[in-house]
Amino acid sequence: MPEEQGRTIAPLDSLSEVLSAPLDAEQRTEAAERRPPRDQAVRDVVIVGSGPAGLTAAIYTARADLQPLVIEGEPSSTSDQPGGQLMLTTEVENFPGFVQGVMGPELMGSFRAQAERFGAQIITERATRVDLSHRPFGIWTGPVESDTPTYLARSIIVATGARSLMLGVPGEDRLLGHGVSTCATCDGFFFRGQPIVVVGGGDSALEEAIFLSKFASSVLIIHRRKELRASKIMQDRALSNPKIAFRWDSVVTEVLGDPKVSGVRVQDVHTGEVDDIAVDGCFVAIGHAPNTTLFTGQLDMEESGYLVTGPGTRTNVSGVFACGDVQDHVYRQAITAAGSGCMAAIDAERYLEALAEH
């Protein structure tokens, strides 16, 4: 098997070896215990997650007559939100095909309807446990203590996405999408000629601030320390930008405004002094976290928790594929997530074709 960045990836060429390998007594017992009840069908594809990546995978696998089941998650701003993070945004102007822009929830509603049109089954439940050590794979949506999985699948596409880390201060959740944002690329255009703040001190924060300086009248970076964590080149670019200023040793304690952002309340971490800063936008850039807890100990991950994939969308477990922000910490765009969802669907279809031949 080829080695990819320090991990072993099982190529499809070795599938026959995997399938034809003899089982020992313990494995035969385990396989018998996992044999599905007569009324529990084994599905060809189960997609966990339903953002642009998961629903694109659903469209493609449904059109391939694989009758995918999509476990879209439950409403939440901190995990696998049905429809993904676009459900928490307002207008999207950079998704191709929408000249006048489109509301995030409307766009994801169209994705969902298109997947259902071709026969995808979508359930509003949250996957609570998976077992990738046996075939067929097991997925639970109920109590994790249950011995019997809710669904069995020959292949799984993981599209649980990633979530932006938030400040957790009053006003933030209420004004998300109304002046509070976590994506400069998505929302920067809406703040043309307006003052904004960016919270954070790493590369992501400075990259967002530099991008936003193209639109905003001014950009104030609020950082809890005196030193930035960003790379030297990013620091030089931000410090030399005439539109960017810094507020050191400070934290945002509240986002102000109703019905949209009108300012932020800031506290000095040393003196405790508090003052309000009038701005029209607050961009939170303190990092992202992938929704991968479900797969800990079963799928290879980077130190940051993102799933390792390659070639294509394949993981270290043959028959399990990952797409979208759950494995992409670089681009994090709806269009790139949709593209990788297409890739995962094609990879899964080819895997199942090879499986049928054996």
Evaluate whether 294 touches 213 at the Cβ level (below 8 Å).
no
Weakest-pLDDT range from 84-88, 123-127, 170-174, 236-240: 84-88
Q: Is the pLDDT of residue 10 over 50?
A: no
Please check whether the domain covering 166-284 is classified as CATH 3.40.50.300: no
Q: Residue 91: which pLDDT band, with cuts at 50, 70 and 90?
A: confident
Determine the CATH number of domain 3-163+288-356.
3.50.50.60
> Stretch 107-116: mean pLDDT, rounded?
96
Weakest-pLDDT range from 4-8, 26-30, 137-141: 4-8
* Model confidence pLDDT, tens digit, residues 306-331: 999 999 999 999 999 999 999 998 88
Q: Is the pLDDT of residue 7 over 70?
A: no
Spot the catalytic one: 183, 249, 268, 342.
183
* Cis before 259 (ω within 30): yes
Instruction: Tell me if domain 3-163+288-356 and domain 166-284 are identical in fold.
Output: yes
Q: Which residues pair with 121 in a beta bridge?
A: 69
- Round the average pLDDT of the chain to a whole number and report it: 88
Q: Is 347 a catalytic residue?
A: no
Closest listed residue to residue 239, CA positions, set 249, 227, 252: 227
Q: Which residues pair with 199 in a beta bridge?
A: 222, 284
Spot the catalytic one: 80, 187, 325, 347.
187
Q: Is the pLDDT of residue 82 over 90?
A: no
Q: Residue 262: which pLDDT band, with cuts at 50, 70 and 90?
A: very high
Q: Is the pLDDT of residue 216 over 90?
A: yes
Distance CA 39, CA 349 (A): 25
Q: Is 282 a catalytic residue?
A: no
Which pLDDT score is estimated for 88? 66
Domain boundaries, the chain: 3-163+288-356, 166-284
Which pLDDT score is estimated for 104? 86
Which pLDDT score is estimated for 25? 52
Q: Which residue has the higher pLDDT, 15 or 229?
A: 229
Spot the catalytic one: 13, 24, 131, 186.
186
> Stretch 169-179: mean pLDDT, rounded?
95
Which pLDDT score is estimated for 80? 62
- CA dist 310 → 70, 162, 327, 335 (Å): 23, 19, 10, 19
Q: Residue 28: which pLDDT band, with cuts at 50, 70 and 90?
A: very low
**CB contact set of 204 (below 8 Å; sequence gap of 6+):** 285, 287
Q: Is the pLDDT of residue 249 over 50?
A: yes
> Stretch 205-211: mean pLDDT, rounded?
92
Q: Is 183 a catalytic residue?
A: yes
Which pLDDT score is estimated for 5? 40
Do the strands 151-158 and 137-140 form a parallel or antiparallel pair, or are they unpaired? antiparallel
Weakest-pLDDT range from 39-53, 65-79, 198-212: 65-79
> Stretch 85-102: mean pLDDT, rounded?
84
pTM of the model: 0.73
